[in-house]
Chain A
Amino acid sequence: MFAKTNSVSPASSLARRGTIADVFPLVAAFVAISFAFGVLAREAGLPLWVAALLSATTYAGTAQVVALGLIAANQPVGVIILVVGLINARFLLLSSVMAPRVRHWPRLVRWMFALQLTDETFALMLPARTRPFPEPREAMALQWGAYIAWVLGTVLGFTLGGDSQMIHSLGLDFALVAMMLAVLVLQLADSKAVAVAAFAGGLALVFSVVGLSWISTLAAAVIAPLIGVWLEGRCKHPA
C-alpha cells in the first residue's frame, strides 16, 4: 500500500483530489482552534457575543489571540486596532493574488470570498504546482465551511469549554499546526519550493525568537518567495 501511494507525485495526487476533499479536515482543525479561542475569550472576560463577533468579523486566529492579550493588558483601543492591522496586513497580499483569479465570478460571491479569505484556505486553493483553481462552488464550500466552523467553534468553546489547561492537555491547540504541516509537505513539489519553505521558516523563526512573532508571517510571505523568483531566474540564465 505504501509503495502505491509513494508512486504518486505530490502535485498529481493533490490535483486529483480536488478542493472538496479538504473541507472536512479544515473544518475539524478550525473547530478545534476556535474552540480554544472561545475558552481564552471567556477567561479574558469578554462577553459571549463579543467573542462571537470577533470570530465572525476579524476571523483571523493570530490577531484574535494577540488582541485578547492586549485587552487583558488594558492597552488603548487605537493601539490594539493598529497592531491587528499590522498582523493582518498580509491579507492585502493574499487578496491581491486571489482577486484576478476570481474576477469572472458573480459580484456577491466574490465579495464574500474576499471577506472569508484565510491563510489556510488560500494555501489549499493555490498550491505551488497548481491543481486547477477551484470552481466558485468548491471555493464557497471550503470558505463557508471554514467560516462557520470558526464562529461555531468559538461559541462552543465559550459555552461548554473547560479551561485553557484542558485545551492544552487535549492538544486541540495543535490541530491547525498539524494540518498546515501536512499541507506544506504535500506542496513541496521541487527543490525550489523546499528552498523557499526553508527560508520562510528560518526567517519566521528568527522573528519569533526576537519577539516579533506577530509580524513574522507577513515578513516571510513578502521576502521568501523572492528566493523562488531568484532561483528560477538563475535556471533560465545560467551564469
Chain B
Amino acid sequence: MQTSSIVLTAAGMGLVTAALRFLPFVIKPKVSTRPLWTIWVRYLPVAVLSAVVVPAVLAAQEEIIWGPISLPFLASLPTLLIGLLTRSLIASVTIGVTTIALLRNLF
C-alpha cells in the first residue's frame, strides 16, 4: 500500500475511533438512569475483561502443546495465583511475562 493511502487510513481510523469515544459525552443518552441499565453497567467491566482474556488464554491455537493446553494457558495459572495471593497487578504482570518467556524458550 502507498504511503499516502496508509496516512489516509490512519487518519480515518483515528477520526472514527475518536467519534465513538466522544459521542456519548456530547449527546446525552436518556437510558443512563434506568435501574436495569445500572445493573447491566455494573457487570460490564467483568464482561469486557473476560471477553478479552479468555480467548487469549484458551484459543491460542498456535501455541498448543497437548490437547487443549497451550503455553498462554499454562502461564495464566501462576498469574492468577499470584494475583489472588498478592492482589498486586505488577506482581501478576511480572510473573505472567516471566513464565511465558521461560515456557516459550523451553518448548
Q: Which residues of A contact B (CB under 8 A)?
A: 2, 5-6, 8, 10, 13-14, 17, 22, 24-26, 28-29, 32, 46-47, 50, 53-54, 56-60, 63, 67, 71-72, 74, 77, 80-81, 84-85, 88-100, 110-111, 114-115, 117, 119, 122-123, 126-128, 130, 168-172, 174-175, 177-188, 192-193, 196-205, 207-209, 213, 216-217, 219-221, 224-229, 232
Considering only residues 1-58 of chain B, those with a C-beta below 8 Å from chain A are: 1, 3, 5-18, 20-25, 28-29, 31-33, 36, 39-58
Contacts of A99 in B (CB 8 A): 24-25, 28-29, 32
Q: Which residues of B contact A (CB under 8 A)?
A: 1, 3, 5-18, 20-25, 28-29, 31-33, 36, 39-59, 72, 75-76, 79-80, 82-90, 92-93, 95-101, 104-105
Q: Are B17 and A84 touching (Cβ within 8 A)? A: yes
The tally of CB-CB contacts under 8 A between chains A and B is 295
Q: Closest 7 interchain pairs by CB?
A: A178-B96, A57-B14, A201-B54, A220-B51, A182-B83, A25-B89, A228-B43
Within the assembled complex, what's the spacing in Å between the Cα atoms of A22 and B79?
16
| Extra contacts besides A178-B92, A187-B49 (16): CB < 8 Å | A14-B87, A46-B6, A56-B14, A91-B17, A91-B20, A95-B22, A96-B29, A96-B32, A99-B24, A114-B25, A122-B48, A170-B101, A172-B97, A196-B47, A201-B58, A221-B48
> SS class of chain A's interface: helix, strand, loop or mixed?
helix
Give the residue of B10, B40, B83 whose beta carbon is less than 8 angstroms from that of A181.
B83
Contacts of B16 in A (CB 8 A): 81, 84-85, 88
Chain A nearest Cβ from B30, distance in angstroms: 11
Q: Are A177 and B76 touching (Cβ within 8 A)? A: yes
Give the residue of A53, A77, A197 whose beta carbon is less than 8 angstroms from that of B49.
A197
Q: Are A221 and B17 touching (Cβ within 8 A)? A: no
Chain A nearest Cβ from B13, distance in angstroms: 5
Given A175-B96, A204-B52, CB of A183 within 8 Å of CB of B89: yes
Q: Are B89 and A179 touching (Cβ within 8 A)? A: yes
Chain A nearest Cβ from B7, distance in angstroms: 6
CB-based nearest B residue for A93: B44
Q: Are B23 and A92 touching (Cβ within 8 A)? A: yes
Q: Are A85 and B57 touching (Cβ within 8 A)? A: no
Q: What would be 9 A-B contacts, judged by CB atoms less than 8 Å apart?
A: A53-B11, A57-B18, A58-B10, A71-B9, A117-B21, A177-B56, A181-B57, A186-B87, A221-B51
Q: Are A178 and B85 touching (Cβ within 8 A)? A: no
Contacts of B12 in A (CB 8 A): 77, 80-81, 84
